[in-house]
Amino acid sequence: MALKEILIYPDPVLREPAEPISNIDGKVQKLIDDMADTMYYAPGIGLASNQVGEPYRIFIFDISPKDKPKELFVVINPEIVESDGLVVGEEGCLSVVDYSAEVKRAERITVQGLDREGNPITLKKEGLAAIVLQHEIDHLNGTLFIDHLSKLKRELYKRRLSKVLKEKQKNKNSTIF
């Protein structure tokens, strides 16, 4: 098992758009395996490659219930080709610590891309799966779920995060005898 560090907001890498994959080689396969190990360990239900510092258009997700077998989806070079409806749901993120909020998303979505072997895939999803697809594709575009919130909610989160980071730094710099 190879775990990768999950980057935390405000790391600037999270804001950089990911690059398309042109060659699905052994390096990409290892990245996918490492991402899966990391996501399941975290635990999370989705992970984009730029969240682990790899700026490629790859994400994985698994929304299967905990008491059911794992059903890992790998999507390379995803593109939203159709969306409709509107739903509001509570979202959180492995890269946005200790925060969740209601976000408006398309209720149904169709995404095209490649699977881990390079075969074309089309995912037509609704509900939680549609939300996860949009959330992860946002990551690949350098967008976080907090960007969908009102400016006030975003600023309140940033202030709270700033206090937490200052406290961590203070504790880190204190000497223990």
Percent of the chain scored above 90 by pLDDT?
86
Question: Is residue 54 over pLDDT 60?
Answer: yes
Work out the average pLDDT over 65-75.
94
CA-wise closest residue to 142 among 6, 3, 48, 21 = 48
Distance of alpha carbon 162 from alpha carbon 175, whole angstroms: 22
CATH 1.10.8.60 fits domain 12-173: no
Is this prediction's pTM over 0.85? yes
Residue-wise pLDDT for 95-148, tens only, equals: 998 899 999 999 999 999 999 999 999 999 999 999 999 999 999 999 999 999
Distance of alpha carbon 55 from alpha carbon 94, whole angstroms: 17
Work out the average pLDDT over 29-54.
97
> Which residue of the set 71, 117, 136, 167 is catalytic?
136
Out of 77-86, 128-137, 156-165, which region has the weakest mean confidence (pLDDT)?
A: 156-165
The residue assigned the tokens 């890498």 is 13
Q: How far apart are the first and last CA of the chain?
A: 37
Phi, psi of 95 (to 5 degrees): -95, -5
Domain boundaries, the chain: 12-173
Residue-wise pLDDT for 2-15, tens only, equals: 999 999 999 999 99
Q: Is 102 a catalytic residue?
A: no
pLDDT confidence tier of residue 66, bands split at 50, 70 and 90: confident
